[in-house]
Structure 1
């Protein structure tokens, strides 16, 4: 009863009255009307309407009036009914609020996920349509010009063909006339000769002589064929006989000749060996003679030295005995010191191992703190050649130029103490392990440094360190002013092939070449010589899909940003709506807002303007909210 809007039951009961007698204001009457779904005091309202008569005391009040009077005088049944209606209205209001919240959630998801992809695709297609429209206009003009040229060529060709056809017809007609004339003349000559041959009749004697000559010719031809066959047979037999004799002679002479050759070779080798041995023996004899004379001189000299040593060895023996005693005493002291050193070393190793464990625990705790802050991780890598005006406060984790506000980082790492490999293996270890364990997509954005390749190779090598994971890697160079390129293509296609990127919920897909890497040697071999192809006006993106056996674990990205213009745009990256900027801005927004990000600011250059731009970008990026872990983990599951 304490939280309800309905007044409590009063012990004082007032008589049944109208709205005029109770003097209840109209505004309160309307409030009760909304709560009870009834019309309060209809008689009072009818009384206020024009041409209406007031209800007499003898008339019976309508049900709504009686209900309100009972509620007003504290009827428990009426009060319970009003409470039920109030609770029903509250449930309906709660239901409507949930529906509105769900609609707002779906609208936000559509605005964050679908609209950027559609805007990106529309912008790309709008640019492509403009280029295609220009190409179509140019091709139409070229086609019209070629059509006119083809019409002219066709008309010229038809005229030339008609002219050639007429010339050919005239030439054919002249040739045909000439041939007909020659054919008539030859035909007349042969007809004359044919008539003469038909009129010629040989005599009987000539016919008999001709028959005899034919018979004689046939006999001579038979004899010639017989002689030819006989001659060929004789030649064949003779050749066969000569071949057999030649083979027999060669076979009989071959073995003695081979024996003589072998004997001659053996004798020559023996002779050469004997001559070489003879020369060697002569040389050795001369050397031994010289050596003997030299040894004799040395022996005499050694005898002289031995005699001198014997005379001088007596004081040395005393010194040796004393030195042995000193050595034994020194050795005992050294052994004691060595034992103490071993104990100290064991203690140091234990303390060092404990320190290493604490360092790992510290990095894990710092990573957990960074995760709880909910902001993008910003690491500063400070070099020796930084500007003199740069002030670094390692205790407060802040960096500032003179007369400027300090910029705070999650880590400040001096390159004098930490190499690029240790930067990844030690300081980024907890970040990598968290993303791999929870299967979260993550990225590393490295701002200008001449050692991009060392940091990139160290990061990829760390992902392969356990031998558990495999990487499917893509490497592209993107630019808004120049042509983008696929650095793993290696001449397999045209160099100006457009790189197609598809922006997903928390990932970016590229239609570039994919290289599978299993060992650190694969990383060195595949990335050899590719650093110079990125240049200062492009952004290098390395996408590595991490696979655990045949199951995809997550996507990792390494971004190489070398131009200051992109760094300046990163300062205002989230000042505009997601999906309304340039393609590179959309890619950076997607990676920094949908995946776990670690931005490495390399403060190695000694230029104060460059350092100021980098610090300004770090100041803005460190305030950007990072995606929550539980959202990504639910997606991965």
Structure 2
């Protein structure tokens, strides 16, 4: 029953919660966004202008006069006693009373359920979580002890293996040294013998003959010359006679050949063949003799080598016997150590399987815890504020993780989550904590908003979005908004006319869109103002939800105080930030390198503000 035509019921309607006139009024009639918007609002008429400012449309609230006239007619009939109208009025009054009773009962049931959750379920969940964390710590300590034992055993095995290799190498070196010493001894003996024979040869060369012998040699040389001359004469005479005999014999031979030529032709041919065959056989015989001689020499040298090697082998076998005994002992010891190591590995494997099982269970419970905490935050209805801090830089502040608060000297500052940087990286912050909130918004078909104050987390959030929506189409708008300078479209540097449109559910920029894979290089390391990234996550071809990520440096927030919606917006950027907080469910991350009192006060102001329904 959102409306009724009965004037008496309309006048008694229950007012909505958060009756602050400024909040409800800002949702319906929001002021102008100056340089960064193209919406213009006037009293009684809403005018929408495009980027050129040429076309305007007016919407007048004509339905109010029609409703008033209908109510006036019914009221007149009721006053003048029309029975049908009186009966209809009574029926509607009874129905309104039933609805009021039903709504009152539902509100009481919701309050009792919330009280039971706060008093019973949440403390029990905290107790179970602490209990499981203690069990996890004990298991982790036992696993570390087992790993240290396994590491020690592995080191012992490696040490024994290296000792065995060193012993073997030492034995090989000793044998090579002994062989080299024997070779050196034989070389010394050979060099001594060679030196002795060279001395003998030198003595023979230096010996001089006897003069009597030389004289006798000269006489004999003279006699020899005379005899040689006689011999030459005799040879010449013999040669002449031989020539005459040869000529005579040639003539006889020619005559004999002519007489015997025909019967000897066959014999001559056969004789030639036999000579060729004999020559071949002789060559084969010589080759075989050479092979036999080479084989005999090779056999003798091989026998000598085999004999030497056998002697060396005997010495090596004699020296290897104690080494083999040591090796057998080491092998037995290695086998026993290996069996022990295998048992330890089996136990470690079982412990690792149990640890993985407990870890998976713990991760599942952590996921359920985050969903439950997000549901509690949803029921609480206020803006989520996360504190992301360095534990070592707290100085004058204390942190109570159980009650989610930072304790100062005089004040206590409460947050939705308190996350230490040492244990939670930026990627884990977004994947585990923030995306529970984002997923719940996307499932409810609502846009959402994440604001990071102080530290730069833009690249981490962009990487997380890319990993979480790999199979989805994601378009990105990236702008820098500034009051003291021109606002910029980072994806299109040529476009200087940047504007934004604010509607009931979301905010849209007149700027360039690019796929998420192409925008990483457009992130500026230094910028003035606030950096806004809008992610359009498509569920279907034309159906998408928006995720805003705003990087706001502390100096900009302190200079403009822009994010505090309890104060009147005095600039376009302040108007934009307040519009986001009023229209979208928001999560604000306060990055505390060192706790800042102004940021802590701002966090408490924002933490008390309601999220839009």
Q: What is the aligned partner in structure 1 of residue 9 from structure 2?
A: 95
Which residue of the partner structure matches residue 473 of structure 2?
A: 470
Q: Does the C-alpha gap of structure 1 residues 560 and 532 become closer, same or farther in structure 2, counting only changes over 3 Å?
A: same
| Corresponding residue SS for 2:549 | strand
1:308-366 deviation digits (Å, cap 9, x = unpaired): 53232111222222223223333333332222222212111111110110111111111
Distance 1:122 1:440, change over 3 A: closer
The alpha-carbon distance between structure 1 residues 302 and 593, as it changes in their structure 2 partners (threshold 3 A), is farther
Q: Which segment is superposed worse, 427-436 or 315-324? A: 315-324
Secondary structure at 2:342 match in 1: helix
C-alpha contact 2:476 2:519 (8 A) present in aligned 1: no
* Match of residue 343, structure 1, among 339, 350, 365: 350
Q: Distance in 2 between matches of 1:372 and 1:617?
A: 22
Structure 1 regions of 5+ residues with no counterpart? 1-90, 127-297, 629-637
Choose from 520, 528, 546 the match for 1:527.
520
Q: Distance in 1 between matches of 2:306 and 2:447?
A: 85
What's 2:498 paired with? 499
Distance 1:300 1:570 in 2: 102
2:458 is the alignment partner of 1:544: no
After TM superposition, the score normalised by the length of structure 2 is 0.51
Establish whether residue 612 from structure 1 lines up as the match of residue 597 from structure 2: yes
| 2:431 is equivalent to residue 428 of structure 1 | no
Partner of 1:168 in structure 2?
Answer: none
Give unpaired runs (5+ residues) of structure 2.
41-304
Matched, 1:622 2:613: no
Answer yes or no: is 1:560 the counterpart of 2:565. no
Maintained 8 Å contact 1:538/1:563: no
| Closer/same/farther in 2, CA of residues 564 and 306 from structure 1, 3 Å limit | farther
Matches within 5 A, 1:32-431: 94-97=8-11, 111-117=25-31, 309-383=316-390, 386-401=393-408, 403-431=409-437
CA contact (8 A) 2:538 2:544 kept: yes
CA contact (8 A) 1:436 1:553 kept: no
Partners in 2 of 1:380 and 1:367 — Cα distance? 16
Root mean square deviation of aligned Cα = 3.6
Distance 1:570 1:118, change over 3 A: closer
Partner of 2:249 in structure 1?
none
Deviations 1:575-621 (A, max 9, x none): 245xx5322122111211221111010012x4x6xx22211111111
Of 459, 463, 474, the residue aligned with 1:458 is: 463
The alpha-carbon distance between structure 1 residues 116 and 334, as it changes in their structure 2 partners (threshold 3 A), is: same
1:482 to 478, 485, 491: 485
Relative to structure 2, which stretch is displaced further, 436-445 or 311-320? 311-320
Aligned to 2:591, which of 582, 594, 602? 602
Query: In structure 2, the residue corresponding to 1:509 is in which secondary structure?
Result: strand
Q: CA distance change for structure 1 residues 337 and 123 in 2, over 3 Å: closer, same or farther?
A: closer
Contact 1:545-1:555 within 8 A present in 2 as well: yes
Q: CA deviation at 1:472?
A: 1.4
**Per-residue Cα deviation, 1:466-488 (whole angstroms, up to 9, x for no partner):** x1x21111000000011111100
SS at 2:612 equivalent: coil
* Maintained 8 Å contact 2:480/2:489: yes
TM-score, scaled relative to structure 1: 0.49
Deviation digits for residues 63-87 of structure 1 (CA, Å, limit 9, x no counterpart):
xxxxxxxxxxxxxxxxxxxxxxxxx
Q: Secondary structure at the match of 1:531?
A: coil
Give the 3 Å change call, closer, same or farther, for CA 121–414 of structure 1 in structure 2.
Answer: closer
Question: Aligned-pair distance for 1:108?
Answer: 9.2
Alpha-carbon contact 1:399-1:408 (below 8 Å) kept: yes
- In the TM superposition, residue 307 of structure 1 has moved relative to its aligned partner by 5.7
For the 8 Å contact 2:404–2:417, the answer to whether it is kept is yes
1:36-88 Cα offsets, whole Å, 9 max, x none, are xxxxxxxxxxxxxxxxxxxxxxxxxxxxxxxxxxxxxxxxxxxxxxxxxxxxx
Match of 2:564 among 557, 565, 573: 573
Residues in 1 aligned to 2:485 and 2:28: alpha-carbon distance in whole angstroms: 28
Partner-residue secondary structure (3-state), 2:543 = strand
Distance 1:110 1:591, change over 3 A: closer
Q: Is the 8 A contact 1:571 1:616 kept in 2?
A: no
Q: Do the aligned residues in 1 keep the contact of 2:475 with 2:536 (CA within 8 Å)? A: yes
Which residue does the alignment assign to 1:176? none
| Cα pair distance change 1:575/1:394, threshold 3 Å | same
Q: Give the distance between the partners of 1:567 and 1:445, measured in 2 at CA.
A: 15
Q: Is the 8 A contact 1:545 1:552 kept in 2?
A: no
Partners in 2 of 1:300 and 1:378 — Cα distance?
93
> Please, which of 438, 441, 458 is the counterpart of residue 444 of structure 2?
438
Following the alignment from structure 1 to structure 2, what is the Cα–Cα distance between the partners of residues 323 and 414?
52
Q: 1:474 to 1:322 in 2, by over 3 A?
A: same
1:592 matched residue in structure 2? 581
